[in-house]
């Protein structure tokens, strides 16, 4: 795997961590949240021209499988995953274009609202994410 592909793979894995953090911040990941993530990745991420055609399958699998792995493993809490995402973002700012940032927020909000609307813990994390993505 070349460096660019490896970096993109890590990017998608970190998105999986972020979306898992959004779902897990209230200490309960629901099947509706995973289903909404799958739906949003297919409808929004794969339909966009922001991801190169030959990377779309990798993007989908990396985001979804990272989310599932974190959920099944149960060793990582939401804050750890969120902070890991932020570290990656801060080290690779150039990957986070305005369009990508908007799509990240849209996806995070969809996951948060997928089960019984957005709760307080999710709302706080979404606000932090929004402020973080507005930096730079």
* Grouped pLDDT means (10 residues each) for the chain, 136 residues: 82 97 93 95 88 85 96 89 97 94 96 85 92 88
Nearest CA to 124 out of 84, 82, 66 is that of 82
Nearest CA to 79 out of 24, 6, 118, 15 is that of 24
Output the pLDDT for position 98: 94
Q: State the DSSP code for 51.
A: S
**Cα–Cα–Cα angle for 87, 79, 129, rounded to 5 degrees:** 65
pTM exceeding 0.75:
yes
For residue 99, give both structure tokens.
């369009």
Output the pLDDT for position 1: 46
The beta strand positions in 1-136, using DSSP E, are: none
Q: Give the Cα separation of 37 and 98 in Å (integer).
A: 20
Q: Give the Cα separation of 110 and 64 in Å (integer).
A: 15
Tally of domains in the chain: 1
Range of the domain at 50: 3-134
Output the pLDDT for position 93: 94
């Amino acid at each position: 795997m070349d460096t660019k592909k490896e970096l993109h793979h890590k990017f998608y894995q970190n998105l999986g961590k972020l979306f898992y953090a959004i779902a897990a911040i209230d200490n309960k990941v629901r099947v509706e949240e995973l289903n909404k993530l799958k739906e949003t990745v297919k409808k929004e991420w794969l339909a966009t021209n922001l991801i190169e055609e030959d990377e779309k399958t990798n993007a989908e699998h990396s985001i979804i499988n990272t989310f599932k792995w974190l959920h099944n493993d149960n060793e990582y809490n939401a804050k750890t995953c969120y902070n890991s995402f932020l570290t990656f973002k801060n080290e690779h700012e150039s990957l986070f274009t305005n369009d990508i940032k908007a799509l990240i927020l849209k996806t995070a909000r969809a996951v948060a609202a997928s089960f019984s609307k957005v709760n307080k813990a999710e709302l706080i994390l979404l606000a932090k994410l929004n402020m973080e993505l507005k930096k730079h």
